A and B are shown apart, each in its own frame.
Chain A
């Protein structure tokens, strides 16, 4: 990409956010404050499609590598954008602390994130500020808890062998 500013002895940055490389894929690490402004710039820069928005709960895997200056938090919102014209992809990873699981919604930039943000809310309990209809999407509406959190039990039901003698 042409607009990557490489300053000597510093990590590469894009619009003021540190960049990293994950198996050849470009990843940007904005803070929560930079998030929406960065996404707006990326949208204007040709990333017209928001392919995917999901999250990861890093409760039991804290030692992951992040660029300098990025504090690891429990939740991470992961957004994959696609640029149709340049046939390019970029990934954005934002840290969201457990104490305040809240992040701005991208609904006004890409209306297609509506269902994906609802899914993250449903599965991880991360709220999206500015989302028009933040309700559960996959789980029943009176469900307790957020299933994809790492401290949510997988709830395996023991197999019952009916009719066996033992």
Chain B
């Protein structure tokens, strides 16, 4: 399929934000609306827009893509009047590697290695949603062994902790609390060390696979988890002393990047950003998957929708994750860690030595992959950043016909121009940080 005759030759307009002199009055109304990422009707509802300055008083500057506080390769075009941000447009795509296209060329067995690289701070959640979508297509979602389900919950929650710890680190760094950067990485390292022991890798594990997980937990895993769980509460209390209670920290975050519940819903945001506005929407509780309906935890919500709420939600979500992991440790059953379904599970290593059929079976699964019945599903779970969804269309073959990941960061950064409008450039850094975007997932 190398023909490109069917493909349109396109040269669309520039993606950049255009200066005011180049756009008409009508367009600028539309532009302000679109920069706010709201429809004209909704902009009208907001009431009188603050009077914007003439062009000779403003300037357009680029922030990024190589700015350390923009978390990767996010480029923002800001229109500034002095220190004030008037308009802002995020420009993305610098990390686009066509992972959805690549996913169409990989079998369902190989797909995990692809999706795990999208949100590289919570790889296990990516694998989980992909595996759950494939299992739903196969119709085996209710046959996953109990131990595998609880293991998935354990890893998913530990991953939430490590992701939020990195958020605390980078959020501190962005706002000048440089020592927090070290503490956040230090604690995250403990979690990653556990992941390395379990999966063999610190990141991009490809450990949660369709049908279960790749291997059983190693000996001594319970003590390792308990060590993390005992270490974290004290460290979180230190963060409270270092940041939460600090007047300087509060001054920098409170009232910055405010968004209301209606706006957050209209913009499609999810996760801590939506919850910071007071909407208690957490897929773990509201559309429970795995065994989240059997564990007790609170959904943390904010009330002001500002950057401080988003910070406080994440630090408290770590505490909730600790609660969940304690319950997972109590509930962890013995048993199989992957489904014993010949169709999707390769035979055990020992069988390959003694049985020709097992060897052929093993070979077939790893070269051809397994066939998945025709159909299409959308499965969504709560990743640390919000709703991560996986839409898979199968044509009955061993590779997905179409795989689409609904990346929470991709949708969440649409709220950026809205949160920034009228703020200061220095606050822009705080706002970007509070969204906690992972550009690998934004650009895919």
Contacts and interface: CB of A to CB of B under 8 A. Distances in A.
A125 B40 CA distance: 25
B264 to A, nearest CB: 9
Contacts of B186: none
A80 B14 contact: no
Contacts of B391: 52, 54, 78, 80
A119 B99 CA distance: 14
A134 interface: yes
Interface string B152-164: 0000000000000
A111 B6 contact: no
A87 B380 CA distance: 13
Contacts of A145: 4, 7-10
Interface string B259-282: 000000111111000000001010
Contact of A112 (B268, B279, B402): B268
Contacts of A140: 93
A90 to B, nearest CB: 10
A57 B12 CA distance: 21
Contacts of B246: none
B13 interface: yes
Given A84-B279, A154-B101, A142 B11 contact: yes
Interface string A114-140: 111001000101000000111111111
A109 to B, nearest CB: 8
A151 B3 contact: yes
Contact of A52 (B15, B101, B105, B406): B406
B101 A112 contact: no
Interface in A97-111: 107-111
B139 interface: yes
Interface in B396-416: 401-402, 404, 406, 410-411, 413-414
Interface string A27-40: 00000000000000
A110 B268 contact: yes
A4 to B, nearest CB: 20
A151 B393 contact: no
B402 A57 contact: yes
A61 B400 CA distance: 12
Contacts of B411: 112, 115-116
B389 A51 contact: yes
The number of chain B residues touching the other chain, given as a range, is: 35 or more
A114 B34 contact: yes
Contacts of A110: 266, 268
Interface in B31-55: 31, 33-34, 36-42
B267 A112 contact: yes
A135 B12 contact: yes
Contacts of A148: 100-101, 402
Given A23-B377, A51-B387, 7 more contacts: A25-B378, A52-B406, A111-B266, A115-B413, A132-B31, A136-B93, A153-B4
29 contacts: A23-B136, A25-B377, A48-B265, A49-B265, A51-B380, A51-B389, A52-B389, A56-B401, A56-B402, A61-B401, A80-B391, A110-B268, A111-B37, A111-B39, A111-B266, A112-B269, A115-B411, A116-B268, A116-B410, A136-B15, A140-B93, A141-B13, A141-B15, A145-B9, A148-B100, A148-B402, A151-B1, A152-B7, A153-B3
